[in-house]
Amino acid sequence: MSTTAEETNDKSTREVVAEAGRRRTFAVISHPDAGKSTLTEALALHAAAITSAGAVHGKGERRGVTSDWMEMEQARGISITSAALRIDYADRVLNLLDTPGHADFSEDTYRVLSAVDCAVMLLDSAKGLEAQTLKLFDVCRARRMPVITFVNKWDRPGREPLELLDEVEQRIGLRPTPLNWPVGIAGDFRGLLERDGTTYTRFTRTPGGATRAIEETLTPEEAAGAEGDAWTQAVEELELLGEIGADFDPASFMAGESSPVLFGAALPNFGVSQLLRALVDLAPAPTGPVDARGAERPIGAPFSGQVFKMQANMDKAHRDRMAFVRVSTGRFERGMVLTHAATGRPFATKYTQAVFGSERTTIETAYPGDVIALVNAAALKVGDTLYAGPKVEFPPIPSFAPEHFAVARALDAGRYKQFQRGIAQLDAEGVVQVLTSDVRGEQAPVLAAVGPLQFDVVSHRMAEEFRAPIELAHLDYTLARRTDAASAPTAHSLSGAEVLTRRSDGELLVLVHNKWRLRVIQRDHPELVLEPLLAGGVE
């Protein structure tokens, strides 16, 4: 019996659905120093994806490993590159997307969250919720994304577990449902007791500071004898958790209302296998995305994907531009010719890579939830859709509330044309948001960013790539609010130099110095429309 085209189709759809079902695509949201790099290594180490911790990008090694695509990146010793790490574990493919963070912050950090299905919120046991974590959590919340919480550094002195959970619930309204519980206080960590109350894993530091703690499993009776009061206290706290109903609840987890919590210590690699299990068992697999018209596209439909990040100049000699695409539906095969939805033009995918840190490997196939990097992608921009088969276009990735503003001017007036072209290109790529105000006109656009690092990228690329060096004058605004045409005259009359600006997508934005000033404006002009921008800074 010969196979019909329909049967082949069925088979390939089934394969895509099965492969998508094995994917777990997530990012870690945390404040600098909470241990994200260490946790990334620990996860990879545990899953045996790499052979020794530190091989990926430990802080100590980071300077050596830093990709060399941009001098600025090297000068700062940090990685501006956002990339994906694939971890194969328990018949699942975990795609960990890096959220570039550190002290500097950029829109890229936020955009990565539009390409994942779940987030791991990493907290330092001594610090709890910190500023950057809160900002990133806001984006997860706006997307109703499931969040798993990992309380790190339990091997060091820190806060009480109940107090930490209370902080999470009170400050961000996320209901914590612990999956395990620490025995022994932070700093005198004895081990982890699973919520079932019967599985206890004892923590023993390996002598000589090896990277992996010894995990020893004891029965409750053995544990009670070995840990004494610490055990009794943990058991009592577990009972309390049961009484207050802090049990894992799949529906509210999926809605981003409750969060399973795990305790551990990434550095000695303790409690990390439990996090891997939680990702495998609880994190959602990719589902069929919704297109710009609001229709759901089945996961097994022909290939489609969306650009969530652009990266330029990775290779100085080629000035190439790389687009990071999350596969939304179907099977990707290298060499496929795709259609770029925005222009209807074909896009060849001969050079397609999987990227992590400075390492690039050629990728042959990818499935929903995977990230592919397309080389020579100068025609693409953040939010663009690529597809095979019938046309599809996904809704744009929202731009985030900027908190930093600066006026840009061409240093050399004779190069104004190059200046304009460069600014327009960086705007289209989503490197910064470009605003114009009547006060200064188009000669001196206001650049708006989520983090100051974005300005450095603009300065660097304007000088190196467009040969139009710029001068940036920082402005004293910290907030942007959306207004409408009817409110424009009132907004114009407010004091402050730019105040009313127009973003390149046509939105009218009122720039405000700070939230106190905002309150005064709102009080004096109750009729003025001032809406917060979607998903952005904590204000």
Q: Which residues bind ligand GDP (CB under 6 A)?
A: 30, 32-38, 59, 152-153, 155-156, 265-267
Closer residue to ligand GDP (CB): 36 or 92:
36
CB nearer to ligand GDP: give 84 or 246: 84
- Nearest distance from C-beta of residue 396 to ligand GDP, angstroms: 30
Separation of CA 42 from chain center: 19
Cα–Cα distance measured from residue 514 to residue 521, given in angstroms and rounded to the nearest whole number? 11
Least distance to ligand GDP from the beta carbon of 30, Å? Answer: 5
Q: Which is nearer to ligand GDP, 78 or 446 (by Cβ)? A: 78
Q: How far is the CB of 471 from ligand GDP (least distance, A)?
A: 32
Beta carbon nearer to ligand GDP, 49 or 380: 49
Among candidate residues 350, 397, 417, 337, the one with its CA nearest the CA of residue 534 = 397
Q: How far is the CB of 28 from ligand GDP (least distance, A)?
A: 8
CA 178 centroid distance within chain: 23
Q: Which letter, b or e, does each residue of 522-531 get, where b requires 16 or more Cβ atoms within 10 Å of its Cβ? A: eeeeeebbbe
Of 32 and 395, which CB lies nearer to ligand GDP in the complex structure? 32
Q: Considering the complex, what minimum distance in angstroms separates the CB of residue 189 from ligand GDP?
A: 10
Which distant-in-sequence residues (6+ apart) come within 8 Å of 127 by Cβ?
31, 34
> Residue 407's Cα: distance from chain center in Å?
28
Give the whole-angstrom CA distance, residue 417 versus residue 427: 15
Output 30 or 82, the one with its CB closest to ligand GDP: 30
Report the nearest approach of ligand GDP to the CB of residue 35 (Å).
Answer: 3
The smaller minimum CB distance to ligand GDP, of residues 267 and 434, is found at 267
The two three-digit tokens of residue 140, written as one number: 């997860």
User: Which lies closer to ligand GDP via its Cβ, residue 53 or residue 458?
Assistant: 53
CB of 152 or CB of 180, closer to ligand GDP: 152
| Cα–Cα distance for residue pair 377/360, rounded to 1 Å | 16
Q: What token pair was written down for 345?
A: 């033009």
- C-beta of residue 221 within 8 angstroms of C-beta of residue 150: no
Least CB distance to ligand GDP at residue 150 (A): 10
Min dist CB 62 to ligand GDP, Å, is 8
Residue 20 · residue 368 · CB < 8 Å? yes
Half-sphere exposure of 489 (CA within 13 A, CB side): 2
Could you give phi then psi for residue 446, rounded to 5 degrees? -95, 125
Residue type, 245: G
Q: For residue 504, give every residue at least 6 positions away whose Cβ sits within 8 Å of its Cβ, in sequence order, or none.
A: 427, 433, 434, 435
What's the burial of 134, exposed, middle or buried (CB within 10 Å: 0-12/13-18/19+)? middle
CB of 101 to ligand GDP, least distance (A): 7
3-state secondary structure of 427: helix
